[in-house]
C-alpha cells in the first residue's frame, strides 16, 4: 500500500515537472499536455504506439528488478539488449527456412540466451574475480555497441550493400500484428506473461527467495547455505536474458532488422522504470507502460510543434532525473520520520 | 614515603564501572612505575579494555580516580590526557591507509585548520624519534602498503611524539607475526630503558612472561593479583586468570547416543589465508552439549563454519548430518537479512521443510501460518510478520534465529556465543532451548567464550587455542 502511494506521488510529480519543462520551451502548457495525452491514449493508434514503446521497457525493467534484488547493480541493460538483438539476427540466418511456428520462438530464445551469456559474464567477473558489476556492465555496453557496428558493417551486413544493417527478417517470421494501421504486435502480451513469471519466480519459489535473500545480505545467505555467489550469477543471467529478449522482441516484432541505430536506450531507461516500480515486477510493468505512453505522446508533440527533435530525449532525461530525485526525496523523508519516533 | 620506593607515575585508585547488568570493573586498584613494563592480564570480559579506556580517557568510571604524578587526572578527556603524557596505541590502528606515512604523522599533529600545512615541520620530531630507535621508515610510502608491524611502529611514533611518559598498548601482538613480535618487544625494552612506563594489555601468558616486569591480573572486573613476574610462574598466572571453574553438568543427566559429527585432523584457513584450525579432531554425539571454550580469535568462527559446511576444509575429513542448524555469532551479519520481513527471515532457516515448499514452489499460506506459530511458540515480540526484522530488539532477533533453527529439528546444532549481547531473560530463554534440544536428541556444539555459559550447558567441555583443542582452559591459555 505504502509503495503504491509512493508510486502515485512520483507519477503526479512527474506530470508537474513535465509541465514546467514544456513551459520553459515556451509552449502553451495546457495544449501541449493535451497533445501528449491524446498522442498517448487519445486514439487506438495512440494506445498502440504507447504499448509498443512500453514493450521493451517491460522486459528490460524486469531485468533490472531481478538483478538489483539480488544485489547486482546491473547497468548493462543496453549492451544486453543489443547482444540479444544481434544473437537473434544471427540465428535468423539459420532458421529462416524453418516453419515459422518453430523459427520465431527459436529467434526469441536465441536473443534471450545472447543477453544472458553476456550478462552472466559480468556476474561471473563480480563473484569470482571481484570486479564490481556496475563497472563491468557499463563498460560492456560500449563493447556491445561497437560489436554491433562491426557486425552490421561486416559479417551480418545486408548483401545488397551500402546500408549498415542486417537482412530484413521475412514477414512470415515476424511476431503477429493485429491491425494494418498500427505497429502493435504480440510481443506486448509476451511481456505481460513474463511479468507474471518473474513475479512468481521472485516471490513464490525457493530459488527466487534465496536470490532475494542473497541480495539483502550475502553473508547471511552464505551462512544459510544458499550459495549467494551462484545465485548472483544466475540473477545476472536472468537479467541479461530479459534484456536480450527485449532486443529479440523489438527485432522480430517491430523493426525486422538490426542496424546502427538499433538501440533506443531501452536498456538505460530500464533503470528508472525499475526504480519507479519499487523494484517490484508488477510495479515495473506499470512504470514501463507509463514511460511508454509518455514517450509516445512526446513523439506526437514533436511532430505537431516546431520545437525540433530534441524534445523527446529531453523529456526522457527530465523524467528520469525526476524519478530518481523524487524517490530519493521520499526515502529521506521516510527515514527522517522514522528517526524522529 | 621511604626513599627506596619511588612514587608511581600513574595510579588507578578504586575504579568501578558498570554497563547495564555487567560490572566491568569493581574497585580496581593498581600502580604503574616509570622504567617498567606492566602487563594487564585477563580473559575476554575480564575488564582489561575498560581499564585502559579509563586510563586513556575514553571511558569515565562510575567511581574512583586516576592519579598521574600525584595529581588527579582529568577523566574522559583523551586529548588532554595525551597532552599530559599518557598515550595509547590502539589494537585497531588509527591510520588512513591511503595517506603516506608522513601524511599520517602530520594528521596527528595538526591542531588548527587555518594554518598552512608544512609536512616537514609537523613530522620532523616523529622522524627524529624513528632515527633514534634505528627504524628506517620511508615517509613517502603509502601507509596501507606497509606490513602490519611497520604500521604499528607508526602508531607508536604517534604515541611518542608528545613526549609521553606513559604508553598504553592494547593487545599489540594480536596482529603481528612472531618475528614482528620479537621486534616490538625489543622496542618496548628500549622505551623502558628511556624511563617510560609501558602498560601492555595481554591475554597470552608466554608473552607476558617474556617481556613484563610486573603483572596485574583481572577476572570478571575484579583485581585478582598484582605480582612481579620474577616471583610468579605461568601456572600460577593461568589459575589467577581462570579461577575456579564452575562445576559442569554431570553427563548422567542426559542420554548420549551415536556419533553425529566427526572431524578428523582438519585444517582450515581463515579469510586472509592464514591457518585458523590446525589438525583438529573431534566428535559430537546425539544428546550431548559439547562446549568449546577459549579466548576469542583462536579459530572459533572458522571451526563453526567448517562444521556447518560453509567453509572449505584444507585437509582432513568431516562427517556431518544432513540437517544442521547454525546460530552464528554475529546475528546481524551472518544470521539475518535486516531489510527483509520477519516471515522471510524465519523462512530462511526452513526452506528445506517439505511442509512449506513443494518442487521448488513456496506454499505461501502454509508459510504464513507456520511463521505465526513460530512467533507464538517462542514468544517473539513483533508488530506484524511483514515488518522488517530490523524493527525487532536484539533479543527478539536472536529468537527469530533460534526458533527457525529448532523448528527443523536438526540432528546437529552449532551455536557460537549465542547469548552475547542479550539481556538476562533472553539469555535464559536461548540456553533453555539449547539444553532442551539436546535432551530431545540433537547434538549441540556450543562454542562460547563465556565460562559460565559453558558450565551451565555443556556435558563435556574442551578448549580451543590457536586452532587446536586442549582439555583444560589453564592448559589452553598457558601454551
- Percentage of chain A lying above the pLDDT 90 cut: 59
Residue A301 is predicted with a pLDDT of 85
pLDDT in tens, B331-371: 889 999 999 999 999 999 999 888 898 888 999 999 999 99
Residue contact A220–B337, C-beta within 8 A: yes
Set of chain B residues whose Cβ sits within 8 Å of the Cβ of A216: 337-340
B204: closest CA of chain A, how far (Å) = 31
Which among A9-13, A133-137, B294-298 has the top mean pLDDT?
Answer: A133-137
- Rounded Cα distance between B163 and B272, Å, is 37
Residue A341 is predicted with a pLDDT of 36
In 3D, which of A199, A213, A208, A201 has the Cα closest to residue A285? A199
Is the CB of B333 inside 8 Å of chain A's CB atoms?
yes
Which of B326, B334, B351 minimises the CB distance to A209?
B351
Helix (H, G, I), strand (E, B) or coil at B166: strand
- Higher-confidence residue of B298 and B310: namely B310
Residue B246 is predicted with a pLDDT of 60
- Higher-confidence residue of A86 and B478: namely A86
Strand duo B315-319 + B275-285: pairing: unpaired
Set of chain A residues whose Cβ sits within 8 Å of the Cβ of B334: 219-220, 222-223
Which of A207, A216, A222 minimises the CB distance to B360?
A207
pLDDT in tens, B329-342: 888 899 999 999 99
Set of chain A residues whose Cβ sits within 8 Å of the Cβ of B328: 223
Is pLDDT at B113 greater than 60 in this prediction? yes
Residue A14 is predicted with a pLDDT of 81
Enter the C-alpha cell of residue A201.
519466480
Residue A3 is predicted with a pLDDT of 67
B340: closest CA of chain A, how far (Å) = 7
- The chain A residue lying nearest B365, using CA atoms, is A204
In 3D, which of A147, A167, A148 has the Cα closest to residue A157? A167
Set of chain A residues whose Cβ sits within 8 Å of the Cβ of B344: 209, 212-213
pLDDT in tens, B129-171: 888 878 888 889 898 888 878 888 898 888 888 788 999 998 8
In 3D, which of A3, A5, A9 has the Cα closest to residue A323? A9
Element at A87 (helix H, strand E): helix A77-95
- Rounded Cα distance between A294 and B357, Å, is 42
- Rounded Cα distance between B167 and B160, Å, is 8
Residue B79 is predicted with a pLDDT of 85
Q: Which domains does chain B have, with CATH numbers?
A: 10-242 (3.40.50.300), 251-478 (3.40.50.300)
Burial label, B468 (beta-carbon count in 10 A; 0-12, 13-18, 19+) = middle
Is the CB of A219 inside 8 Å of chain B's CB atoms?
yes
- The chain A residue lying nearest B334, using CA atoms, is A220
Q: What is the residue extent of each domain of chain A?
A: 55-297
Contact present, B157 and B126 (Cβ < 8 Å):
yes
Mutate to test the interface with A, among B309, B333, B362, B367 (most CBs of A within 10 A): B362
Calculate the alpha carbon distances from A315 to A8, B66, B277 in Å: 19, 68, 61
- The chain B residue lying nearest A227, using CA atoms, is B310
Contact present, B288 and B438 (Cβ < 8 Å):
yes
Is the CB of A16 inside 8 Å of chain B's CB atoms?
no
Query: A73-87, A297-311, B35-49, B78-92 — which is least confidently predicted?
Result: A297-311
Residue B149 is predicted with a pLDDT of 81
pLDDT in tens, A190-221: 999 999 999 999 999 999 999 999 999 999 99
Enter the C-alpha cell of residue A285.
510493468
Query: B58-67, B197-206, B247-256, B331-340 — which is least confidently predicted?
Result: B247-256
**Number of other residues whose CB lies within 10 A of the CB of residue A313:** 12
**Number of other residues whose CB lies within 10 A of the CB of residue B383:** 10
- Percentage of chain A lying above the pLDDT 70 cut: 96
Which of A213, A219, A222 minimises the CB distance to B340?
A213
Start-to-end Cα distance in chain A: 21
Is the CB of B230 inside 8 Å of chain A's CB atoms?
no
ipTM reported for the complex, 2 dp: 0.85
Residue B342 is predicted with a pLDDT of 94
Residue B4 is predicted with a pLDDT of 59
Residue contact A204–B362, C-beta within 8 A: yes
Which of A205, A207, A213 minimises the CB distance to B348?
A213
In 3D, which of A22, A150, A173, A168 has the Cα closest to residue A103? A173
Contact present, B389 and B340 (Cβ < 8 Å):
yes
- Percentage of chain B lying above the pLDDT 70 cut: 94
Is the CB of A335 inside 8 Å of chain B's CB atoms?
no
Residue A158 is predicted with a pLDDT of 83
Is the CB of B174 inside 8 Å of chain A's CB atoms?
no
- Rounded Cα distance between B292 and B263, Å, is 14
CB contact residues (below 8 A), chain A span 194-213, against chain B: 203-207, 209-210, 212-213
B332: closest CA of chain A, how far (Å) = 8
Is pLDDT at A285 greater than 70 in this prediction? yes
Residue B2 is predicted with a pLDDT of 44
Residue contact B360–A213, C-beta within 8 A: no
Residue A81 is predicted with a pLDDT of 97
pLDDT in tens, B422-475: 777 788 889 999 999 999 999 999 999 888 888 889 998 999 888 888 877 766
Residue contact A220–B333, C-beta within 8 A: yes
Residue B410 is predicted with a pLDDT of 93
Answer positive or negative: Cα dihedral of A253, A254, A259, A260.
negative
In 3D, which of A62, A68, A70, A64 has the Cα closest to residue A227? A70
pLDDT in tens, A237-250: 999 999 999 999 99
Residue contact B362–A206, C-beta within 8 A: yes
Is pLDDT at A187 greater than 90 in this prediction? yes
Contact present, B47 and B220 (Cβ < 8 Å):
yes
Mutate to test the interface with B, among A209, A230, A234 (most CBs of B within 10 A): A209
- Percentage of chain B lying above the pLDDT 90 cut: 41
Residue B474 is predicted with a pLDDT of 67
Confidence of residue A339 (pLDDT cuts 50, 70, 90): very low
pLDDT in tens, B179-226: 788 888 988 998 899 899 999 988 778 888 889 999 999 988 899 999
Helix (H, G, I), strand (E, B) or coil at B246: coil
Residue A227 is predicted with a pLDDT of 93
Average pLDDT score, chain B: 86
Enter the C-alpha cell of residue B413.
546444532
Is the CB of B335 inside 8 Å of chain A's CB atoms?
yes
Residue contact B349–A224, C-beta within 8 A: yes
Is the CB of B365 inside 8 Å of chain A's CB atoms?
no
Is pLDDT at A313 greater than 90 in this prediction? no
Region B291-319 average pLDDT: 90
Residue B164 is predicted with a pLDDT of 87
Burial label, B235 (beta-carbon count in 10 A; 0-12, 13-18, 19+) = exposed
Residue contact A213–B344, C-beta within 8 A: yes
Is the CB of A68 inside 8 Å of chain B's CB atoms?
no
Amino acid at each position: 500500500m505504502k509503495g503504491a502511494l509512493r508510486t502515485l506521488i512520483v507519477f503526479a510529480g512527474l506530470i508537474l515537472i513535465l509541465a514546467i519543462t514544456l513551459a520553459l520551451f515556451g509552449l502553451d502548457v495546457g495544449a501541449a499536455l493535451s497533445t501528449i495525452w491524446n498522442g498517448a491514449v487519445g486514439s487506438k493508434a495512440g494506445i498502440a504506439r504507447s504499448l509498443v514503446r512500453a514493450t521493451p521497457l517491460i522486459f528490460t525493467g524486469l531485468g533490472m528488478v531481478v538483478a538489483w534484488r539480488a544485489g547486482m547493480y546491473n547497468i548493462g541493460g543496453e549492451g544486453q539488449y543489443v547482444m540479444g538483438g544481434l544473437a537473434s539476427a544471427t540465428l535468423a540466418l539459420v532458421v529462416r527456412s524453418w516453419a515459422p511456428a518453430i523459427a520465431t520462438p527459436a529467434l526469441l530464445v536465441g536473443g534471450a540466451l545472447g543477453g544472458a551469456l553476456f550478462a552472466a559474464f559480468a556476474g561471473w567477473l563480480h563473484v569470482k574475480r571481484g570486479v564490481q558489476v556496475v563497472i563491468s556492465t557499463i563498460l560492456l555496453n560500449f563493447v556491445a555497441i561497437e560489436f554491433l557496428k562491426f557486425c552490421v558493417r561486416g559479417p551480418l551486413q545486408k548483401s545488397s550493400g551500402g546500408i549498415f544493417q542486417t537482412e530484413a527478417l521475412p514477414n512470415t517470421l515476424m511476431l503477429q500484428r493485429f491491425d494494418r494501421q498500427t505497429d502493435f504486435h504480440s510481443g506486448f502480451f509476451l511481456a505481460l506473461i513474463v511479468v507474471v513469471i518473474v513475479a512468481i519466480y521472485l516471490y513464490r519459489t525457493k530459488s527466487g527467495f534465496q536470490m532475494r535473500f542473497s541480495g539483502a545480505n550475502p553473508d547471511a545467505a552464505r551462512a544459510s547455505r544458499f550459495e549467494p555467489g551462484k545465485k548472483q550469477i544466475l540473477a545476472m543471467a536472468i537479467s541479461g536474458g530479459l534484456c536480450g529478449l527485449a532486443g529479440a522482441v523489438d527485432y522480430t516484432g517491430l523493426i525486422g532488422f538490426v542496424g546502427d541505430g538499433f538501440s533506443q536506450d531501452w536498456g538505460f531507461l530500464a533503470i528508472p522504470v525499475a526504480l519507479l516500480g519499487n523494484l517490484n515486477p508488477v510495479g515495473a510493468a506499470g512504470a514501463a507502460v507509463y514511460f511508454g505512453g509518455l514517450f509516445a505522446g512526446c513523439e506526437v508533440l514533436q511532430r505537431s510543434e516546431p520545437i525540433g527533435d530534441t524534445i523527446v530525449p529531453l523529456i526522457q532525461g527530465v523524467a528520469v532525473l525526476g524519478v530518481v530525485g523524487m524517490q530519493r526525496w521520499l526515502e529521506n523523508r521516510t527515514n527522517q520520520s522514522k528517526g524522529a519516533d | 614515603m621511604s626513599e627506596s620506593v619511588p612514587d608511581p607515575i600513574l595510579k588507578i585508585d578504586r575504579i568501578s564501572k558498570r554497563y547495564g547488568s555487567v560490572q566491568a570493573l569493581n574497585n580496581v586498584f593498581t600502580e604503574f612505575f616509570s622504567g617498567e613494563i606492566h602487563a594487564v592480564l585477563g580473559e575476554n570480559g575480564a575488564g582489561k579494555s575498560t581499564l585502559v579506556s579509563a586510563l586513556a580517557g575514553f571511558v569515565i568510571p562510575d567511581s574512583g580516580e586516576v592519579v598521574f604524578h600525584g595529581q588527579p587526572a582529568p577523566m574522559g578527556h583523551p586529548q588532554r590526557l595525551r597532552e599530559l603524557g599518557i598515550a595509547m596505541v590502539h589494537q585497531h590502528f588509527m591510520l588512513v591507509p591511503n595517506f603516506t606515512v608522513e601524511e599520517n604523522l602530520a594528521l596527528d599533529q595538526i591542531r588548527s585548520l587555518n594554518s598552512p600545512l608544512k609536512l616537514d615541520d609537523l613530522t620532523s620530531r616523529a622522524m627524529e624519534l624513528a632515527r633514534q630507535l634505528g627504524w628506517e621508515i620511508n615517509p613517502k610510502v603509502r601507509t596501507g602498503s606497509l606490513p602490519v608491524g611497520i604500521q604499528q611502529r607508526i602508531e607508536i611514533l604517534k604515541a611518542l611524539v608528545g613526549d609521553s611518559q606513559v604508553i598504553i598498548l592494547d593487545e599489540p601482538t594480536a596482529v603481528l607475526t612472531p618475528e614482528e613480535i620479537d621486534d616490538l618487544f625489543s622496542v618496548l625494552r628500549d622505551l623502558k630503558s628511556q624511563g617510560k612506563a609501558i602498560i601492555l594489555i595481554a591475554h597470552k601468558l608466554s608473552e607476558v612472561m617474556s617481556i613484563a616486569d610486573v603483572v596485574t591480573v583481572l577476572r570478571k572486573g575484579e583485581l585478582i593479583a598484582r605480582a612481579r613476574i620474577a616471583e610468579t610462574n605461568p601456572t600460577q598466572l593461568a589459575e589467577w586468570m581462570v579461577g575456579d571453574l564452575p562445576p559442569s553438568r554431570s553427563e548422567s543427566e542426559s542420554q548420549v547416543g551415536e556419533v553425529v559429527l566427526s572431524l578428523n585432523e582438519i585444517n582450515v584457513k581463515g579469510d586472509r589465508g592464514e591457518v585458523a584450525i590446525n589438525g583438529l579432531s573431534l566428535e559430537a554425539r546425539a544428546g550431548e552439549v559439547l562446549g568449546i571454550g577459549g579466548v576469542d580469535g583462536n579459530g572459533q568462527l572458522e571451526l563453526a563454519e567448517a562444521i556447518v559446511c560453509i567453509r572449505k576444509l584444507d585437509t582432513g575429513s568431516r562427517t556431518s548430518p544432513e540437517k544442521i542448524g547454525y546460530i552464528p555469532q554475529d546475528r546481524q551479519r551472518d544470521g539475518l537479512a535486516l531489510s527483509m520481513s520477519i516471515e522471510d527471515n524465519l523462512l530462511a532457516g526452513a526452506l528445506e521443510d517439505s511442509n512449506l515448499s513443494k518442487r521448488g514452489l513456496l506454499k505461501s499460506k502454509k508459510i504464513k501460518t507456520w511463521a505465526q506459530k513460530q512467533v507464538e511458540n517462542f514468544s517473539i515480540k513483533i508488530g506484524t510478520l511483514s515488518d522488517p526484522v530490523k524493527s525487532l530488539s536484539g533479543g527478539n532477533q536472536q529468537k527469530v534465529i533460534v526458533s527457525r533453527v529448532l523448528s527443523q529439528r536438526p540432528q546437529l546444532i552449532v551455536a557460537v556465543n549465542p547469548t552475547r549481547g542479550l539481556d538476562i531473560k533472553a539469555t535464559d530463554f536461548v540456553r533453555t532451548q539449547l539444553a532442551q534440544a539436546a535432551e530431545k536428541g540433537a547434538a549441540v556444539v556450543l562454542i562460547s567464550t563465556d565460562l559460565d555459559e559453558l558450565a551451565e550447558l555443556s556435558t563435556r567441555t574442551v578448549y580451543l587455542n590457536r586452532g587446536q583443542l586442549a582439555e583444560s582452559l589453564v592448559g589452553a591459555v598457558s601454551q
